[in-house]
Amino acid sequence: MDLAALAIQKALLNQWQSAIEINKQILVDSPQCTEALNRLAQAYFQIGKLNKATKIYQTVLKIDKYNPIAKRKLEKIKIIRGNGDCLDHNDIYDNPDFIEEPGKTKVVALVRLGDRPTLATLKSCQKLKLIIRSKNICFYSNNQYVGRLPDDIARRLIWLVSRNNQYEAYCKAVEKNKVTIFIKEIKQSHKNRNYLSFTVSDK
């Protein structure tokens, strides 16, 4: 596994200190690698070191002034600082960076969505409760139904969960009549070591 892939894996596992060290290693040889800089800033962000994260994102913009990740994250830090004591602690420490790792994560549009009042309360990066039924996987926010996975993806994950895999899901975006989630494998059982959670054919 190369260092970039290892850094992404550590981030997905919320092992932020390890992610910091690995991204620093990458930057020794490639100091202008914006991908590594963004990952490093995100790791500092996750452990609450906003000043360090800010400086690194600013460095990214000096290299690539249109970098969308750095611009978006700096805006979020600005909002966090503006909120002061009103800040929800989870906004800093549980905010996932939606980095896709082939086979381990997937951005999916839910089907059979819940009612509009429930969808209107959803926020990006909000963790959703995942409930497995006999033939489908549904998601809930504050015990209110949000939507479910497409049948083909659900069938595969239900089988993998029956063999002891584990997953987490977060709301990624909410649009009119559309909710996309970020779902990631957080544990792969030994039984499933030869099976990917998500295949190229998954829609």
**If DSSP codes are grouped into helix, strand and coil, which group holds residue 64?**
coil
Residue 78: its H or E element = helix 68-83
The tokens for 87 are 């800040």
> What one-letter code names the amino acid at 140?
Y
pTM to 2 decimals? 0.55
User: For residue range 1-16, what is the model confidence (pLDDT) as tens digits?
Assistant: 589 999 998 888 778 8
Mean pLDDT by 10 residues, the chain (203 residues): 86 86 95 95 86 94 93 83 43 54 91 91 85 94 94 96 95 86 93 90 58
The topology (CATH level 3) of 3-93 is: 1.25.40
- Residues 84-101 have pLDDT tens digits of 433 333 333 345 566 778
Parse the chain into domains and list their residue ranges.
Answer: 3-93, 105-192
Q: What's the topology of domain 105-192?
A: Alpha-Beta Plaits (3.30.70)
